[in-house]
Structure 1
């Protein structure tokens, strides 16, 4: 293995009496080394067996939380690049009485720990397992040092994983696949030097860095998801570092960021940091778009992340500032994730007028126009999202710039259809919902359609919030390629929206139609292909280079979940306004985007 430096028994070491011994009667076993326990696959060849006297040096201690224990590493690695030299020792509720740098001899039973979500079992979870010792005993025998492997641009393979189905017992190829590389270093002390942050600090004292700074790098310091792999991303959590920096995308951790390599269901492989590089803030600032011209109709989409009446007033104020200052007060704003008047209280309330009033009041307070709104209350708990919250899509519009054509008949269960109105197209109800009884919308938001007039010309706007990715298998999991079962529902939803657009264009081939919102999938995903097939709708993001198409940052991937598509009759100027997703301090987890339609 590539060795670049040593962790010595000085500097970072915490000391405990060398006489500290934990004794439990155990059957003497033939001594094995850590690499024998780890083996050449993800599952230990010794799983279930007791071992004794396994030598190593402590490299990290987790002394709090439900998963207490310590990592130790063999100071004498073997020559096999597939076998890890590090291992986690689980101590249950017991605070492990060891310190970094202690040489130890450990006994216990070899186990595979699967981090599982509610409803999963070790047999059904898509997550990989962590090889560890349980029912452990150990003796501190002295002090020692172990090699630290540096992770750099050429270290981790660019190909993410073998595409062989279940890969648990597949022999590792660490020089070919990124997930195999990380697995072959499970529990080992690793370091990344001068790392760039590609995922901002979250509420759990974690951030994402990249060991491949040139991998799909965008202009604001992130790593863009242009396909189903960005192998250089690595999560960093705090093991013993305080304070933990509030880092934004593009910031750097100057110097060495190091710790044992762990695995969790929240992002996969993670560096449990015993040392962080010095946080060096970048110059990233929230963007602002230009104001629309008199002859431009500005239409924006903004996921406001569970906006609830009575919530944090600062959130309302910041989102309002975003509409006024960052988006330059668009003429129409399609909102996603507007909750009902009692927020997450599961009390049967579905109306959202108080929520929308509080938000539009906040926009006025921020110096913006007095927006009016249109929306349709959903059936209770029928549209997914936070239970009791009844999230929905809604339109805001500035009556000084654009008018809304109100047509009666729209309801939670009534489908809207385009109808001929002389030589132009109109709606059977405005606002209305697209095919709400369609199974494609089960436990998901139904699209809201509105008929607007700008300088006397009609524009049909379809606001969407497609089904979430909940239930999909993770990129880092033991099943490759991961099953993306939620794509099936989004594809059905895309077909339903496309069917409506086709009805509109069948009446008026020159109709101006805008389809926008949080589609919860990527521009390259086959789930969204029905929207653009045959050129019926044009995705405006294609005006941008692939690495600049993103409105969301998840697990260190800057990715495109929000979209604006237009019918061929429309020419537009398009902008993704990066104001939230890249920052540790967010008003929402999505960035808004805007299209300025020309007359």
Structure 2
């Protein structure tokens, strides 16, 4: 995921970028009188009054939003019906700062709309709203309706129903079953005053003043306090995003495993960047879980240590070089080979044709030396300007660092941005035709994406082939809370083609030398259980070493409360059959002060 905005990219857009929203337009009668909020919300995701004008809808104001592009207020009927599928709260979009206060008894007239955060192309569900409102304050200082408790018992374990196949798998028109499905439960209380208590943090506070908690503390819990995403059918419905209706300066700064003790309460919103969100006007007290960054074991004299680390758009202007260097030296214990992803060119995002990255790389190498580490050497290939995706102008690429006191690089001239590396057989051993070299760079699979970097290394007389990857991101995939279920993961098409090309190249090496030591590593932008991983692994040509860890420890990234695998190290049979050690070193993804959104991985083995 892959860029400085990558913490939001799988959801599919950066928060700071203005997005286009859409509204579901339905043909319906022009006016409706005497309706209440539960009538407007109805028993499905789309209001039966969408497109209609409603008059004098009564309720109590429960929350006021005076900031951002969605100014307005929530109000709630103090006299609910007895149908658990119909929400008693709704958002009133005023466009400017509303002139109401929490506790006001109001009547609202306006048009019922179904607003799709981010626009229809995101696949998001819609948020029922009243727009173009006329608001009358009847009285002030009234008691706010008691919050609905969201907890382990109230949220069903099953995440969602499958969508209607006749409607492109949309769940919009399906009757809500709030006691059967988590998404239905949240929809049935959309817009209402809700609360969570003593909630454990499962995604740290991000730069946008957001965090995620779980109301199901035992749901796929990790040893360090998170929630692991282990399959497409374990979406973890206990996850809930928390934002604040107050000043963001007062928002808690927390790590995974911390708790918001006491009550966190406010209206339940739905937004583009995570779906159902508790927008808090009351936030619990932080209780630290004491999470510490991990340190891996030092490789032995006879072990080769190979690591992958996405350094998140590193360029010379960044202030993170010392921190990255300390992480490589201390937390990763100075691996012999490090595959770096997202090294930018010498002037970062300035789009002036610069592609060389020597300033960036050497600044990191110098910082590693200053941190007490080895004087690494390095190899890479400059991309064609603006052809490899990522931040425009940044020209991100993979780079090999290697410790020349422990390992040597086999240089074979001729590798450049457009020349494909091949495999030959010399004296019964596989050799690369160029080293370093890029795999099949003209293949359409690599359009607007990073091309894999292959290199030959020698450790104690043994050749090791290393392929550094950064496959295309999940940008464009539908979010887990989408109206289409199961969700469409459109980015997989290109990533599968990329995985196919990488696997074919590995097969070339193994065809030339069956027992060759081959390592394919990097930011694969996909899970260890995904079809991308299966294609990479092929018929046993490779094995994703993270699968050697217990299921609840398999993660390299934390997104929207789900700890998941994006970074992988895959190994050939000759490495797998011997003793190897694998570690996902958690130094970033669980922390609010992360220097990258990815955790590095380390493999140790004896060639």
- State the TM-score, normalizing by the size of structure 2: 0.92
Q: 1:268 aligns with which of 258, 266, 275?
A: 275
How far, CA to CA, are the matches of 2:277 and 2:342 in structure 1? Answer: 31
- Are 2:364 and 1:359 equivalent residues in the alignment? yes
Contact 1:488/1:527, CA 8 A, preserved across alignment: no
Q: Which runs of 5+ in 2 are unaligned?
A: 1-29, 164-168
1:422-571 mapped onto 2 (5 Å cutoff): 422-570=427-575, 571=578
- The reply to whether residue 244 of structure 1 matches residue 251 of structure 2 is yes
Cα distance between partner residues in 2 of 1:486 and 1:395: 27
Contact kept? 2:557, 2:599, Cα under 8 Å: yes
Partner of 1:4 in structure 2?
A: none
Q: 1:28, CA displacement in angstroms?
A: 9.3
**Segment of structure 1 superposing worse, 74-83 or 144-153:** 144-153
Distance 1:400 1:575 in 2: 23
CA deviation string 1:443-491 (max 9, x = no partner): 1111000100000110000111000001111111111111101111111
CA contact 1:112–1:131 (8 Å) conserved in 2 = yes
Q: Deviation of residue 423 (structure 1)?
A: 2.7
SS in 1 for 2:520: strand
Map 1:177-192 to 2 at 5 A. Answer: 177-192=181-196
Secondary structure, aligned partner of 1:236? strand
8 Å Cα contact 1:490-1:528 kept in structure 2? no
For 2:88 and 2:32, the matched residues in 1 are separated by: 20
Query: Which position in structure 2 is the counterpart of 1:175?
Result: 179
Cα shift at 1:144: 3.1
Deviation readout 1:313-363 (Å, 9 max, x if unpaired): xx1110110100000000000000000111001111111111101111111
Q: Structure 2: how far apart are the matches of 1:31 and 1:237? A: 34
Q: Is 2:599 the partner of 1:595?
A: no
Partner of 2:16: none
**Aligned position for 1:98:** 100
**Structure 1 residues 235-244 or 453-462, which shifts more?**
235-244
Question: What secondary structure is seen at the aligned counterpart in 1 of 2:147?
Answer: strand
Q: Is the 8 A contact 2:205 2:255 kept in 1?
A: yes
Give the corresponding residue for 1:21.
Answer: none
What root-mean-square deviation, in Å, do the aligned CA atoms of Structure 1 and Structure 2 show?
1.3
Structure 2 contact 31–52 (Cα < 8 Å) conserved:
no
Which whole-Å deviations, capped at 9, do the CAs of 1:57-84 have from their partners, x for residues lacking one?
Answer: 1111101222111101111111111110
Give the aligned partner of residue 10 of structure 1: none
Task: Summarize the alignment of residues 41-80 of structure 1 with structure 2, pairs less than 5 Å apart.
Answer: 41-80=44-83
Distance 1:303 1:544, change over 3 A: same
In 2: Cα distance, 1:81 partner to 1:301 partner = 49
Query: Is 1:141 matched up with 2:111?
Result: no
Q: SS at the partner of 2:419?
A: coil
Range with bigger deviation, 529-538 or 370-379: 529-538
Q: Given the alignment, which residue of 412, 417, 431 partners 1:412? A: 417
Aligned-partner Cα distance in 2 for 1:390–1:68? 38
* Distance in 2 of aligned mates of 1:421 and 1:131: 68
1:580 aligns with 2:588: yes
Contact 2:102 2:144 in 1 (8 A): no
CA contact (8 A) 1:90 1:132 kept: yes
What secondary structure sits across from 1:146 in the alignment? coil
Equivalent residue of 1:191, what SS? strand
Cα separation, 1, equivalents of 2:146 and 2:330 = 52
Aligned to 1:156: 155
Q: What is the TM-score when the length of structure 1 is the normalising length?
A: 0.93
Q: Which runs of 5+ in 1 are unaligned?
A: 1-26
Do the aligned partners of 2:31 and 2:53 also contact (CA within 8 Å) in 1? no
Equivalent of 1:40, from 43, 49, 55? 43
How far apart are the structure 2 equivalents of 1:369 and 1:28?
A: 74
Match of 1:13 in 2: none
- Native 8 Å contact 2:418 2:442 kept in 1: yes
Task: Measure the CA separation in 1 of the matches of 2:74 and 2:138.
Answer: 16
Instruction: Report the secondary structure of 1:360's partner residue.
Output: helix
Per the alignment, residue 126 of structure 1 pairs with 123
Please list the CA deviations of residues 218-276 of structure 1 after superposition, one character each: whole Å capped at 9, or x if unmatched.
00000000012111100000112651111100000000111100011101110001111
CA deviation profile, 1:81-111 (whole Å, cap 9, x unmatched): 1110001111112x21222122212211111
Residue 323 of structure 1 is aligned with which of 324, 328, 331?
328
Measured at CA, do residues 472 and 28 of structure 1 come closer, stay the same or move farther in structure 2, by a change above 3 Å?
closer
Q: Give 1:230's match in structure 2, choosing from 219, 233, 236.
A: 236
Indicate the residue corresponding to 1:394 in structure 2.
Answer: 399
Cα 1:513–1:34 change in 2 (3 A) is: same
Bigger drift between 456-465 and 416-425 goes to 416-425
Q: CA deviation at 1:597?
A: 1.4
Q: What secondary structure, in the 3-state scheme, does the structure 2 residue paired with 1:318 have?
A: helix
2: distance between equivalents of 1:243 and 1:316?
29
Distance in structure 1 (CA, Å) of the matches to 2:191 and 2:32 = 23
Q: Once the 2 structures are TM-superposed, how far is the Cα of residue 169 of structure 1 from its aligned partner? A: 1.9
SS at match of 1:147: coil
Aligned to 2:350: 345
